[in-house]
Each structure stands twice: as C-alpha cells, then as structure tokens.
Amino acid sequence: MLAGDLYAFQDLLSDEEAATVHRVREFLSAEVSPIANEYWARAEFPSHLIKQFAGLGLAGVERSSLLDGWLALEMGRADASMATFYGVHAGLAMGSIQECGSPEQRERWLSPMASFDRIGAFALTEPTGGSDVAAGLRTTARREGDTWVLNGRKRWIGNATFADLIVVWARDEADDQVKGFVVEKDAPGFTATKIEHKIALRIVQNADIELAGVRVPESDRLQLAGSFKDTARVLRATRAGVAWQAVGLMIAAYEIALRYAGERKQFGRPIAKFQLVQDLLVRMAGNATASLGMCVRLAQLQDAGVYKDEHSALAKAYCTTRMREVVGWARELLAGNGIVLDYDIGRFVADAEALYSYEGTREINSLIVGRAITGHGAFV
C-alpha cells in the first residue's frame, strides 16, 4: 500500500488488478526510478526500456478504467516523462486508432503497437495553435484520387523523433473538417526535429514536425474520424489519464517529503516534530486524497459508460492544480535540497509545469466545465 493512499483506495481493485499494479510498481521501482534523474539531466530517452515496457503486457489490453488509471498513477509516481511516453503511445496514438480506425486498420496497427514493435506519436498541436486548435487547425489535407497530400507544421509532439507511426490531424480542404491520418516516419516530406532547452519532461523527446507534401494513401486515413468531435473523444479519455498521473506525482512528492521530515534534524530533533512541517504534510496528503477520490469516481463513471467531457476536464484541471501546490510544498519542506535532482523533488517541480499545461490548460478545461454547468459557452 502506498503511504500517500490514506483512504486505501487501492483496496477497490480486485486481487488480480492489485497483482498487476504490484508488478508494474516493482518494475518502475527497479528500472525507471533509479535512472530517471540521469536521463532527465541529459535530456535523453532510455530506449532500452521500450522492450521492458512491452514485457509488462499493458498496451492494447482491455481492463477497467480504475486499473487503467491506477497504472497511470504508478507511472506518474515513478517519473512523469516515462508516464508521458506511455500515455502518448498507448493512450493518444493507439487510442486514436482504436476509436477512429476501421476494423482493418485496428487489426493492422494495434497489434505491433501493443508489443511495442512499432511506437506511436500523436500530432495535433501546432506552432500557432494549442487551445484553439479545434477551430484554428492550419495543417491541411487535400485529396488526389486515392491519395491525400498533407501540408503544415506541428509542435510539442512527444515520441516523434523515434516513433514509427504518427497520427496526424489535418483539416480537409474540401469540407473544412478535421480528419486523422497515420503517417509513417520515413514518408517523403516528413521531418521531425527535437525541441531543445526544455525545463520540464526532459526525457520526453518532443519534436517540431514539418509536413511538406506528404502523401498518405486513403487506406491510411482513419476511416471513422470525420470531424474534431472524433478527435475530442480521444482527448476525453486521455485527459483522465493525465489527472491520474498528477495524483501519482503528488503521492511521490508527499512520500519523499514525509521520509525526509523523519530523517532531517534541526535544533536537535527531526523536523517532523515541528508543527509547521506537519501542517505542510497534511496539506499535501489532503490534496492527494481529494484528487485520488475524484479520479476513482471518474473511473467508475467511465466504466459505467456515462462520463462526459466535463468530468475529464474537471479532473484534469483540479488534480493538476493541486499537484502544483503539492510539489511546491514538498520543495519548501526540503528547502535547499528541494532544488537539486538528488532528492527527485526538483524534477517533480519542473515536470509538474508540463502536466499542468498539456492535454488542455486549466483555463480551457475550466471553460469546458463552465459550459456544462451554465449552458453557455465562453471560449471567445
């Protein structure tokens, strides 16, 4: 049981699900956590872990939303970058094909992706379009017979420097609707350039993508993606995953701060004996517990098939905001030791900024919820 799971939410998992969580936790503890700071400092991706992720047998497997979320929590607890790698591949890329691909396309692509023989990326965000990408998507697709020609640019595309398959969202010049395409990494006219000098998620290989007359056969157009509403179906599910990742980051920060408070001595006694330190720890535990409770209920709504965009949006906005507070309090508790990588908190503080912003900013997610509860859209 995690020290940060004060209300024992993990007990809601079945014995089989709990065994899966334990197996993944052991893998992350042994293989990911010990090297995270090293690769984060070098801004490099530990490619040798890809096949080990494959060995976990997680991608492409149907399971409860509660277990799916808990696995995202475990990955976020170990390292937000590796959680993002997995989320992009198994969530955004595979999720797009699962939701928007034809049966033939799902058969063709999902099996090699589930075994990590082919890695996926998801290209939606653009240099000039993030929050307004639904209406402002500038990448275009023009049909020429049985071929589509893609032109445009994408930015912040995780995994794109080494992905085999990139799900690209582009606006059809004919009907002005957003459609999805699966682009092979070696397609003529496709280039991916690593984004340098990041201060967050440095292990993630984000890229700028250029599409210059990239030709995609009609057979590689996602057959069930006819508008941005279809894209939004994918994002609704993955936003929930980011909320779970944020909880994992909170729990990790809390656990490190709790352990540190018991070991660090000032004025001749452990700082855990000081009232203000206990106050910080209780605030951290409260944020993590409230956020975890929200995620658990969201998972139940997902499994019941009744969850809506506003449910995922509220969880993403709320949990990442609380996460920001928790990592800040952990850094405060560790004082100077909180700004170095040695204690992990420095990495958590930086990575939290990325989780706070991607998959919809707090402001955009707030407007999604606001529209649902008032009946009025306020996006422009």
pLDDT tens readout for residues 146-202: 999 999 999 999 999 999 999 999 999 999 999 999 999 999 999 999 999 999 999
pLDDT per residue over 12-59, tens digit each? 999 999 999 999 999 999 999 999 999 999 999 999 999 999 999 999
Residue 135 has pLDDT above 80, yes or no: no
Q: What mean pLDDT is predicted for residues 68-95?
A: 97
145 and 213 in contact (C-beta within 8 Å)?
no
Cα–Cα dist 324/108, whole Å:
40
- Please, what is the average pLDDT of the chain? 96
| pLDDT at 380 (0 to 100) | 76
The pTM for the full model equals: 0.95
Confidence of residue 237 (pLDDT cuts 50, 70, 90): confident
Give per-residue pLDDT as tens, 300-351: 999 999 999 999 999 999 999 999 999 999 999 999 999 999 999 999 999 9
